[in-house]
Structure 1
Amino acid sequence: MAQSPTGDNLPLRQYSIQYQPSPSPLTSQASPITSPPPESASSIPLSQVDTESAASLSWKDVTVSFEQRSSSPQVVLDGVAGYAEPYRMLTIMGPSQSGKSTLLRALSGRLCRKAKYQGDIRINGRRQQLTYGTSTFLTPDDEVLPDSLTVKEHLILSAFLRLPSNLPRKEKLAVAEHVMSEMGLTELAYRYVRKCPHKGISGGERRLVNLAVELLIGPSLIYFDDAFKGLEGASVLSLLIKLKGLARGGATVIMCTEHVSSQVYELLDDLCLLSNGKMVFFGDNIAAVEHFSTAGFPCPPNHNPSDHFLYTIGAEFEKLRAPFLYHWSLKLICLSRRQDLFKTSRAFYVYILTRRTHCYVMQKGGVLVNRIKRPASRSEFFTLSYRSLLNTTRALGFYWIRILLSFLYMLSIGTIFLRLDHSKSSIEARAACIFLALEGMMFLSVGGVPYMYNEVKMHVREMVNCHYGVANFVVANSIASLPFLLLISLVPLCSMYFLAGLHSGALKFIYFVVNLYLSLIVSESLMMAISCIVPNAYTGMIIGSCVQVLFMLVGGYVRHDNNLPKAFWKYPSSYISFHAHSLRGMFQNEFLGSRYGGHTGAYIVYGEYNFPASPGKWWSLLILAGMAIFYRTLSVVLIRLSYRVRSLTRTCIATGKT
């Protein structure tokens, strides 16, 4: 294993994961931009923050609303202000539906299109465009990892995807080793990232792996939505210590959570409390307890301050506490008293705005840049292709089980239609054999939807943080699937083709293989396009099966082409169905040039089964190839349309109102 390099020869800024207490920013009278880091930061051996990478984020009058068709716009955030600075971690807390995630997404520039934003958000006192690698956004909802890779493999491949192409391979490996060591993942290096009780890693460890991937290029702004969701005990404490270590290393860390334990609360730095879209408190964790006590809501002794804040500012808790008023130590908070609390908080909000946020806006710091350049597109493509190939090779359920099932299915068809002759009665049997072979293979491709859905979901999470482009992902995924689809086409087909006694010519057999191969590529491409728009894998399998049935019905065998109703079924369904083009080519390949019971192949194909005479069987292959390209291109478009993310400049900084 490579040795962790020192801070001088690292190609990027890195953090030391150490927890050191720091003074409250409210008691400091120094400039928020030019003030030196706390003394504890001098003990950090691997990182020194320069003027190019330090990020002091400030915002004021941030208002976010969502349009509703039947009523007036719903205001989610109402005039929120605050700041976040290096060497300290900001935690946004509040009850459910209080606007925590919306504020975090507004600060990171990741609001959805339906959201209307107003406000002023600045970095180092400037409205500036964020360059590559300056920020990262993490959320447990998109916590998808390649299950067939080990932790070390995933970090190394991510380093090759994110670090510059001109960086030597040894230095990329050293960066991956260093980040893995700093995040405490060395002992898990050779364990798979899948959720498995024996060979996999836990949920908290998966979250650390996701965080480690984003730290490969040393972002200055780290946003973490619902950081402790689904974690308990030691996992929460471990993740918090890592985040505090990143803050002490010079990063600006902003996370949101609904509730923390009393032990975790003591480790928090700055706190922003929200309720119904309004800010109730902004300051350090100790000042929060004093603020609520001054407002008439002191925290009971030996009570968790986080619980106390949640019960106090959450209106939904009043109805729950009313029946137990005489049994609870917490007294019922009347609506008038809560309004007094909000008025006091409003005054405190004005205090924060004038004392700190205004200072951040007026005193401009350095422009935030990251000296790391994006790798070349060619390097991203080869790395993605290798990762997809490695992941699909190790995933038994993706292709290997499909190959086995395809072999058994084709073997069954071959034994059912064993040794077909050239009599008149064999015409229908040959047609049924070809139809069942094609349709069965197409329906087996639906089983790959869950894996494609996970691939797309993982790509979207990486795309949000600008790991690589959509086109590279789709093309690399397509190329990685080609060898397996060739095996599915060739190996099972041999067992059926020769057992059934289909046309014995070598060219005829090659055409059958190529036709089936292209049909599988088209089907795979169609399933990937469906995986880009469905909310979950099960819905994708249902929709994929329905589409396959629809294309099968208009393919020309179940109902002849001339007998299809022209509205919808013939135009355009029969023309966009790749089943129709594939089946027509297979029938032309099998029957043309031969005689069966006195009937010519042309009569069978064009007369008995009413397939159109044009295009020919070779044109059918070109049409299938064009459909495969079309569906892959459609996947690129669907990913961009469905998960398009607004940049920080366009949504919060460049369009912010002063």
Structure 2
Amino acid sequence: MATPVSPSLSKLNSGPLPSPPLPEGAVVARKLAGASVAWKDLTVTIKGKRKYSDKVVKSSNGYALPGTMTVIMGPAKSGKSTLLRAIAGRLHHSAKMYGEVFVNGAKSHMPYGSYGFVERETTLIGSLTVREFLYYSALLQLPGFFCQKKNVVEDAIHAMSLGDYANKLIGGHCYMKGLPSGEKRRVSIARELVMRPHILFIDEPLYHLDSVSALLMMVTLKKLSSTGCTLIFTIYQSITEVFGLFDRICLLSNGNTLFFGETLACLQHFSNAGFPCPIMQSPSDHFLRAINADFDRIIAMCKNWQDDHGDLSSVNMDTAVAIRTLEATYKSSADAAAVETMILRLTEKEGPLLKSKGKASTATRIAVLTWRSLLIMSREWKYYWLRLILCMLLTLCVGTVFSGLGHSLSSVVTRVAAIFAFISFTSLLSIAGVPALMKEVKIYASEESNQHSGAFVFLVGQLLSSIPFLFLISISSSLVFYFLIGLRDEFSLLMYFVLNFFICLLVNEGLMLVVVTLWRDIFWSILTLLSIQVLMMLAAGYFRIRNALPGAMWTYPLSYIAFHTYSIQGLLENEYLGTSFAVGQVRTISGFQALRSAYDISPDSNSKWENLLVLFLMVVGYRIFVLVLLRFCVGKKKSVLKIFQFNVDKTNTR
């Protein structure tokens, strides 16, 4: 007896599913030149990825044509994203690829700008509007004039139906709500469209979207593909209306290709294998139910209910049997032969090679990143302006506690305590900027993966944009502290105090960048920085003179790598060298002698500049360290936390 078919599937079998109404904003201004993509015998191995085999993708064949949507579907850990990355040439360093990928019939690497790749989870800048975000992305990616880039941005907004949201902040602000998840996903895709790519790869475009947002997304992508762009993306499951919009489907399970061909033919393939789609069930749900081994754990539970709750034959389907049957049926089918024939046709003659569209210059990228960061700082009140306010409040507290000291011999020890408290506590308070730095590193990682930015460009832009903000903190806090405490009333000494504190903040910012880049986790970064700051405060020479510290660890190396040591020492030399104090009515002692018992400083008048030079070298040194980390850790998507988790998982597996 034939299995009845749902009305929606009857429409699919009798013809193409009617598309939902298309939004006006989905119409793009100009056509896009697509490119054909074919992959043959594609195998990907990743050592340690799976317990039973290193092969994540096994001998996959397929193709994608201009103006079509090709979807790679399968359950979790079936190799969807790995296959997508292999086709795009974006595999991680630990993966090895075997087989061939052809673009317009040629085995050539896709150059910059010829394709776009949208990750499953992308980092957007919440304090920018959609139009601003895309415009800055265009400035980073494209060479040429500003007016041309504005036109490209408007085309991208139009193509992804974002016209109603163009002037809204992506992440919201104060009482304003940010964009819904569906619109944020479309912004991520629009960022890649500013390059007007021939091929667009998207990893899970429906990730975390509800059914309405998913349908709108797929309708928009369908309209985009109709302009000529070649779309290849992964998907976990979809509703029937969305399924009807696909042109071709590649079905994977455990790295094996169970089907490749037109969407309607996939339904027939399942029916021929003995697994027809039941009435009132989405085709994608049925496919994934049949090939997802996780459902085997549910079968035992359902067997106990079958007698009381009727027929559960669809649930009791043996997944292992279904996978073997579907794979064997496909290999011997006309669909598999048709794929091989089509790949042969696409690769027998080379078409036009894809060419790079050029990049923005390094100077342009640095200028864009600097200006964009300044704009973000002016709007992110929680991370930047609140930090300035807290520094001012802390300075007022320290200043009022130590106010009215005067310039006497008896005030020397207390003045040392005041300067130590000012430098140490403001450095400790700077840890409040970790979330902002974490966002910057994540934005860099997202842009670097698509070659929109680079480690040197990001680092210089971040440094230049942070200088005005840190200088504002240093001059405002220094002026309040300097006059509340009553330090020496000389302009040159005041300027040295401001400069010393400013460079101290730059060093601290570099240290924070190092830790954030290593961990890429807010909790562990803050915990690490707190520990480092406390150790540096202990070794700075206030609680115990540096020469009297235990030699192992505390003197060498801690007291020499603690920036507190050089900042406080320079400020004390700035305050006390060249002064004298009266002892009784006859004898006087120098400032160096008065301070010698409280803090270890040098009697040389140039020593304060030497301390400033050491701080400046620390600024450079930390940035160089960050540059290395950005290139070798963030570029390879490694972090201390990920390495630790990987080792734990490996140990548990053993």
Cα contact 1:450–1:538 (8 A) shared by 2? no
| Residue identity matched to 1:363 | K
Instruction: Trace 1:218-297 onto structure 2 (pairs within 5 A).
Output: 218-297=196-275
Cα contact 2:28–2:158 (8 A) shared by 1? no
Match of 1:155 among 127, 130, 134: 134
Aligned: 1:363 with 2:352: no
Indicate the residue corresponding to 1:109 in structure 2: 89
State the distance in 2 between where 1:362 and 1:567 align: 71
Q: What is the percentage of aligned positions where both structures have the same residue?
A: 35
Cα contact 1:560–1:611 (8 A) shared by 2? no
Q: CA deviation at 1:352?
A: 4.8
Cα contact 1:464–1:645 (8 A) shared by 2? no
Indicate the residue corresponding to 2:287 in structure 1: 309
Aligned: 1:602 with 2:592: yes
| Residue identity matched to 1:161 | L
Secondary structure in 2 matching 1:268: coil
Q: Which moves more between the two structures, 104-113 or 513-522? A: 104-113
Secondary structure in 2 matching 1:532: helix
| Residue identity matched to 1:407 | M
| Residue identity matched to 1:150 | T
TM-score, reference length from structure 1: 0.86
State the distance in 1 between where 2:554 and 2:166 align: 55
State the distance in 2 between where 1:596 and 1:275 align: 84
Instruction: Trace 1:378-527 onto structure 2 (pairs within 5 A).
Output: 378-527=363-512
Secondary structure in 1 matching 2:194: helix
Aligned: 1:330 with 2:314: yes
Aligned: 1:63 with 2:43: yes
Aligned: 1:190 with 2:180: no
Q: CA deviation at 1:158?
A: 2.1
| Residue identity matched to 2:153 | A
Inter-CA distance 558–220: structure 2 relative to 1 (3 Å threshold): farther
Per-residue CA deviations over 1:206-261 (Å, capped at 9, x if unaligned) read: 11112112111201121111211111122111211222222221211111121111
Match of 2:540 among 555, 559, 566: 555
Match of 2:112 among 122, 129, 132: 132
Per-residue CA deviations over 1:524-579 (Å, capped at 9, x if unaligned) read: 12212222222322222222222222222222223322233333333232222212
Cα contact 1:392–1:399 (8 A) shared by 2? yes
Match of 1:81 among 44, 52, 61: 61
Cα contact 2:455–2:627 (8 A) shared by 1? yes
| Residue identity matched to 2:285 | D
Aligned: 1:637 with 2:652: no
Q: Which moves more between the two structures, 530-539 or 207-216? A: 530-539
State the distance in 2 between where 1:330 and 1:537 align: 46
State the distance in 2 between where 1:422 and 1:44 align: 75
Aligned: 1:98 with 2:78: yes
State the distance in 1 between where 2:622 and 2:543 align: 25
State the distance in 1 between where 2:41 and 2:595 align: 72
Inter-CA distance 439–608: structure 2 relative to 1 (3 Å threshold): closer
Larger RCO (CA within 8 A; separation ≥ 6): 1
Superposition CA RMSD, Å: 2.5
Q: CA deviation at 1:634?
A: 2.1
Inter-CA distance 520–233: structure 2 relative to 1 (3 Å threshold): same
Q: CA deviation at 1:414?
A: 1.0
TM-score, reference length from structure 2: 0.87
Indicate the residue corresponding to 1:616 in structure 2: 607
Number of positions where the alignment pairs a residue of Structure 1 with one of Structure 2: 600
Cα contact 1:606–1:613 (8 A) shared by 2? no
Cα contact 2:416–2:598 (8 A) shared by 1? no
Q: CA deviation at 1:339?
A: 2.1
Cα contact 1:223–1:254 (8 A) shared by 2? yes
| Residue identity matched to 1:351 | A
Per-residue CA deviations over 1:43-93 (Å, capped at 9, x if unaligned) read: 9884445xxx53211112222222239977522112122111211111111
Inter-CA distance 70–95: structure 2 relative to 1 (3 Å threshold): closer
Unaligned runs of 5+ in 1: 1-22, 28-42, 647-658
State the distance in 1 between where 2:406 and 2:92 align: 63
Inter-CA distance 591–69: structure 2 relative to 1 (3 Å threshold): farther
Cα contact 1:93–1:274 (8 A) shared by 2? yes
| Residue identity matched to 1:468 | S
Secondary structure in 2 matching 1:219: coil
Cα contact 1:584–1:617 (8 A) shared by 2? yes
Cα contact 1:282–1:352 (8 A) shared by 2? no
State the distance in 2 between where 1:44 and 1:478 align: 41
Indicate the residue corresponding to 1:587 in structure 2: 572
Secondary structure in 2 matching 1:425: helix
Cα contact 1:561–1:611 (8 A) shared by 2? no
State the distance in 1 between where 2:258 and 2:603 align: 75
Indicate the residue corresponding to 2:645 in structure 1: none
Per-residue CA deviations over 1:288-338 (Å, capped at 9, x if unaligned) read: 111011001111112111111111011121221332242425152234454
